[in-house]
């Protein structure tokens, strides 16, 4: 084979391998030239395309990510590379779009979270305001009604009418408490306590509370408590009271005159460290249809419009019962038939008391009663900061019955000034006042230079009852908190307890 033939064979093999083409079939010098010319053009074309590819990739490194590489008609390895690169660019664009979408979604979620937090804050502010505006006048109504009911000079008819006034105010207070409790539960502010209490005594006390309504409707009420039910249980007595109160209130409300109600409490199960107690409330009332039962635990739902017209209530009682039972890891079941009555069965777990023996039951029953010793030779003097004149008069009248002097001022600024000018045993502080509110006044008192005055006991007496308020009270140095309407004896006990505690500390 001549050198010309060898050169032609070599060039043809390159063209065939690289470009899968064979241009000539002879072995002349013209064939060699034609093959070499084709090869040269192909190489030049590759060189230019490679330059363009390098430039495009460089632009990507510079930040222009979305430039596609050119694809020729050659269908060679450069085109395969360009197609692969362009596919990567498509995926990158999709990822960038997804990232931007995700950022947009996250931004919207952040805005929604901020709006939700603002709504929660607004709701808390609304509930605080509503509680204050309604409880403040209610405190005057209930407080003065109590004072008059204890007066020996009133005739029977007048006392009976006062009793109706107080009963109506108590119903309104239950309505307010229902709304506030539902808000607390839904926001997760309710914590179930685990303290010893006497369920039997609690149930009997509940019967006394409803005795007037039961007598008015001549209802046959039977209370059956299983002998095996322990006298002492560990749990949240306040929430158990709420469950019993709402179930009994519902039964009495829907039971006609001369109807029947059965309240039964039974020990269902006992394990090593716990009891399971079943509470049943059965009435002979109007009952409910299957459709009505479906929404019985929904808020603001009443059995029927006729019943709503004839009976008071918010429609929140059973909703609160259901939520409390769930919080206590219990179970509630309701069975009812129209015109035949309704039966609620609540099963609640209680832990066994390990800190109290049976011999200490009496001390548990009086757990909430405060025993203090006050120097009777020294008359206590209390400073009251309260902007509502009616409530000023009420507190002064209540405390005077306990031989306590009470000086009243109309805002927090006057309270701080009065404390600086005079000596007091305790400050009774309203929270929502003009000029200087209760929080601000308490904070200023705690900053006074006089050691005795800066450490004076401060008792908040407010119509605002949200958990947020209680926490803020602790932060600014308020020792204790009582809500309006207040119980006269409880107010006196807390006042004396705080004063004795301070005197013993000093």
Whether 348 and 389 share a structural domain: no
d(Cα 82, Cα 389) in Å, to the nearest integer? Answer: 87
Burial 469-496 (b: 16+ CB within 10 A, else e): bbebbeebebbbbbbbbbebeebbbbbb
Whether 405 and 480 share a structural domain: yes
Average pLDDT for residues 328-340, to the nearest whole number?
A: 91
Whether 346 and 387 share a structural domain: no
Average pLDDT for residues 91-101, to the nearest whole number?
A: 76
Q: How confident is the model at residue 106 (pLDDT cuts 50, 70, 90)?
A: confident
Is residue 97, in this structure, part of any structural domain at all? Answer: no
The reported pLDDT for the residue numbered 258 is: 92
Kindly provide the residue ranges of all beta strands, DSSP E only, lying in 290-410, ordered along the sequence: 331-337, 341-351, 381-385, 405-409
Q: Are the C-beta atoms of residues 428 and 383 closer than 8 Å to each other?
A: yes
DSSP, collapsed to helix, strand or coil, labels residue 234 as strand
pLDDT reading at 294 higher than 80: yes
d(Cα 7, Cα 73) in Å, to the nearest integer? Answer: 28
Number of folded domains in the chain? 3
CATH of the domain at 396: 3.40.50.2300
Is residue 178, in this structure, part of any structural domain at all? Answer: no
Is residue 204, in this structure, part of any structural domain at all? Answer: yes
d(Cα 38, Cα 8) in Å, to the nearest integer? Answer: 12
pLDDT reading at 164 higher than 90: no
Whether 360 and 479 share a structural domain: no
Whether 396 and 343 share a structural domain: no
Cα atoms found within 13 Å of the Cα of residue 497, Cβ hemisphere only: 14
Q: Are the C-beta atoms of residues 129 and 465 closer than 8 Å to each other?
A: no
pLDDT reading at 191 higher than 70: yes
Could you give phi then psi for residue 156, rounded to 5 degrees? -60, -45
d(Cα 169, Cα 96) in Å, to the nearest integer? Answer: 64
Average pLDDT for residues 61-73, to the nearest whole number?
A: 72
Is residue 400, in this structure, part of any structural domain at all? Answer: yes
- Tens of pLDDT, residue by residue over 442-467, are 999 999 999 999 999 999 988 776 66
Whether 231 and 346 share a structural domain: yes
Among 61, 82, 103, identify where a domain stops: 61
Whether 211 and 329 share a structural domain: yes
pLDDT reading at 359 higher than 70: no
Which of 28-37, 159-168, 365-374, 382-391 shows the lowest per-residue confidence on average (mean pLDDT)?
365-374
Domain that holds residue 210: 193-365
Q: How confident is the model at residue 429 (pLDDT cuts 50, 70, 90)?
A: very high
Tell me the Ramachandran region of residue 287: left when phi exceeds 0, alpha when psi lies from -120 to 50, beta otherwise. left
CATH of the domain at 234: 3.30.565.10
Q: How confident is the model at residue 131 (pLDDT cuts 50, 70, 90)?
A: low
User: 99 has which bridge partners?
Assistant: none
Is residue 76, in this structure, part of any structural domain at all? Answer: no
The reported pLDDT for the residue numbered 284 is: 92
The reported pLDDT for the residue numbered 505 is: 59
Whether 332 and 450 share a structural domain: no
d(Cα 451, Cα 334) in Å, to the nearest integer? Answer: 60
Whether 208 and 344 share a structural domain: yes
Is residue 460, in this structure, part of any structural domain at all? Answer: yes
Q: Are the C-beta atoms of residues 385 and 411 closer than 8 Å to each other?
A: yes
Average pLDDT for residues 154-172, to the nearest whole number?
A: 77
Whether 217 and 262 share a structural domain: yes
Could you give phi then psi for residue 493, rounded to 5 degrees? -65, -45
Tell me the average pLDDT of the chain: 81
* Greater pLDDT, 206 or 496: 496
Q: How confident is the model at residue 354 (pLDDT cuts 50, 70, 90)?
A: low
DSSP, collapsed to helix, strand or coil, labels residue 482 as strand
Whether 420 and 328 share a structural domain: no
Is residue 374, in this structure, part of any structural domain at all? Answer: no
Instruction: Give the chain's length.
Output: 506
Q: Is 415 exposed, middle or buried (0-12, 13-18, 19+ CB in 10 A)?
A: buried
The reported pLDDT for the residue numbered 453 is: 94
Which of 19-23, 164-168, 340-344, 427-431 shows the lowest per-residue confidence on average (mean pLDDT)?
19-23
Whether 397 and 495 share a structural domain: yes
Is residue 42, in this structure, part of any structural domain at all? Answer: yes
């Amino acid at each position: 084979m001549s050198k010309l033939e060898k050169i032609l064979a070599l060039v043809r093999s390159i063209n065939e391998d690289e470009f899968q083409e064979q241009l000539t079939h002879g072995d002349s010098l013209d064939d060699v030239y034609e093959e070499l010319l084709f090869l040269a053009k192909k190489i030049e074309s590759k060189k230019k395309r490679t330059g363009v590819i390098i430039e495009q990739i460089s632009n990507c490194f510079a930040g222009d990510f979305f430039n596609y590489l050119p694809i020729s008609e050659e269908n060679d390895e450069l085109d395969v590379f360009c197609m692969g690169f362009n596919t990567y660019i498509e995926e990158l664009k999709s990822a960038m779009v997804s990232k931007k979408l995700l950022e947009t979604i996250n931004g919207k979620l952040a805005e929604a979270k901020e709006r939700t937090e603002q709504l929660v804050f607004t709701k808390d502010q609304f509930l605080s305001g509503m509680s204050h505006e309604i409880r403040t006048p209610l405190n005057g109504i209930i407080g003065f009604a109590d004072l008059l009911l204890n007066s020996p000079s009133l005739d029977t008819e007048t006392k009976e009418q006062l009793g109706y006034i107080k009963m109506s105010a108590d119903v309104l207070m239950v309505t307010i408490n229902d709304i506030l409790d539902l808000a607390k539960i839904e926001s997760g502010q309710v914590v179930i306590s685990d303290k010893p209490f006497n369920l039997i005594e609690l149930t009997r006390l509940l019967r006394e509370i409803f005795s007037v309504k039961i007598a008015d409707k001549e209802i046959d009420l039977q209370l059956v408590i299983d002998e095996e039910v322990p006298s002492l249980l560990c749990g949240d007595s306040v929430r158990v009271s709420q469950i019993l109160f709402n179930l009994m209130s519902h039964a009495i409300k829907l039971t006609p005159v001369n109807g029947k109600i059965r309240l039964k409490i039974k020990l269902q199960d006992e394990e090593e460290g716990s009891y399971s107690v079943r509470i049943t409330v059965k009435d002979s009332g109007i009952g409910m249809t299957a459709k009505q039962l479906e929404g019985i635990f929904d808020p603001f739902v009443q059995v029927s419009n006729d019943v709503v017209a004839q009976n008071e209530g918010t429609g929140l009682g059973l909703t609160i019962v259901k939520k409390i039972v769930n919080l206590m890891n219990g179970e509630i079941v309701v069975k009812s038939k129209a015109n035949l009555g309704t039966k609620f069965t609540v099963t609640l777990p209680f832990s066994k008391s390990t800190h109290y023996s049976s011999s200490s039951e009496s001390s548990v029953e009086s757990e909430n009663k405060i025993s203090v010793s006050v120097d009777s030779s020294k008359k206590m003097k209390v400073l009251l900061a309260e902007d509502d004149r009616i409530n000023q008069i009420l507190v002064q009248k209540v405390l005077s019955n306990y031989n306590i002097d009470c000086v009243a001022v109309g805002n927090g600024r006057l309270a701080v000034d009065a404390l600086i000018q005079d000596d007091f045993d305790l400050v009774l502080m309203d929270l929502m006042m003009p000029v200087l509110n209760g929080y601000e006044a308490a904070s200023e008192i705690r900053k006074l230079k006089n050691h005795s005055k800066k450490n004076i006991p401060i008792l908040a007496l407010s119509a605002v009852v949200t958990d947020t308020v209680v926490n803020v009270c602790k932060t600014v140095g308020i020792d204790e908190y009582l809500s309006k309407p207040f119980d006269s004896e409880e107010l006196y006990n807390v006042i004396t307890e705080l004063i004795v505690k301070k005197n013993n500390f000093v």
